[in-house]
Amino acid sequence: MEVHNTGEKVFLTRMDNVSLITLFVLSGLNETTNHRAILFSLTLLCYLFILLANVTLIVIIILDKNLHEPMYILLCMFCMNGLYGTAGFYPKFLWDLLSPVHVISYAGCHVQALVMYSFASSDLSILAVMAYDRYAAICRPLEYHYIMSKQRLLMLVCFSWLAPFCIIGTNIILTSRLKLCSPFITRLFCVNWIIVKLACFPADTMVNGIVAYITIIIYVFHGFFIVWSYMYLIKTCVNSIENRRKFMQTCVPHLTSLLIFLVTIVFDVMNMRFGSKDLPQTVQNFIEIQFLVISPVINPLIYGFKLTKIRNRFLHVITFNNKY
């Protein structure tokens, strides 16, 4: 058997006639050797902006007691989730841009896959809870504080984080039992379904496929719930000027975030499941990282500029700093 080396490390060994993977090779950067410095600089600036924008929004919400309302607490969770997801990609990607060898440990690869897709799943769950919150605020205003009590809000936030983590974790555990025949992943980061496709025995992946489709169905229902919520909201707001104002002020940022998220995720899933190998690697890379670039960058800007309380608080802080 041929043994592949990366410097001093060996990432394939033979055990019971099956290759035992100890390291994975990420080959998504193979076509960018001539532009690494530019790509590193742009990526670093993008990540620093994501950190600054999301942390600023989180700090503003935490420090201002007037913003301790369900809508803003959910927005705070949304930004925290963005920091969690991007932390699973950017540091490793920046390191790979500086390194001639792009490898990741077997355990590290599974952890990265867990972080990437629990982040994306949590985003959709939080967006669903935000849709429910807006439905309660606009359609049932007299019952709003009962519906979105502190206890229920805490339960919904925990559900939005723990349920995706457990669901994606189940997918990862099922993948970890597979015997793999190749260490090569043709992407910039680890993805569970790509690891599954490296299995030596396709018959072993049947359970993985079933669980993966159940996961997709669960989050498709999240999407249907959001659509239903907004159809009801629009119906309620049509005949009321006050409700239309509330809708434009608080729901438009949410709908924009939802649209951006759905477009980027659908492109990624379609590319992963049905993508053509004829697509240039750079195009595939762009499709893969859209949900790690566009949403974390745009969301803080959308909410920061559109939500009046946050915008006013931000302007107040800037004015105070300039004065003193």
* Maximum separation of any 2 CA atoms in the chain, in Å: 73
211 has a pLDDT exceeding 50: yes
Higher-confidence position of 313 and 294 = 294
36-63 vs 308-323: helix axis angle to the nearest 10?
100
| C-alpha–C-alpha distance, residues 233 and 61, integer Å | 26
pLDDT of residue 14: 47
Per-residue model confidence as pLDDT tens digits over 224-269: 898 888 888 888 777 777 767 777 777 777 788 888 888 888 777 7
CA torsion, ordered 195, 210, 266, 299, to nearest 10 deg: -80
Could you give the CA distance from residue 198 to residue 119 in angstroms, rounded to a whole number? 24
Q: Give me 234's structure tokens.
A: 């629009």
Give the pLDDT score at 125: 93
User: pLDDT category, 2, cuts 50, 70, 90?
Assistant: very low
Write the CB contacts of 228 (distance below 8 Å, at least 6 apart in sequence): none
Mean pLDDT of the chain: 81
Least reliable range by pLDDT among 201-210, 218-227, 299-308:
299-308
Structure confidence by residue, pLDDT tens digits, 56-94: 889 888 888 888 888 889 989 999 999 999 999 999 999
CA 261-210-185 angle, 5° bins: 65
Contact 24, 185 (CB under 8 A): yes
At 5-58, the pLDDT tens digits run 444 344 444 444 455 778 888 887 776 667 778 888 999 999 999 999 899 889
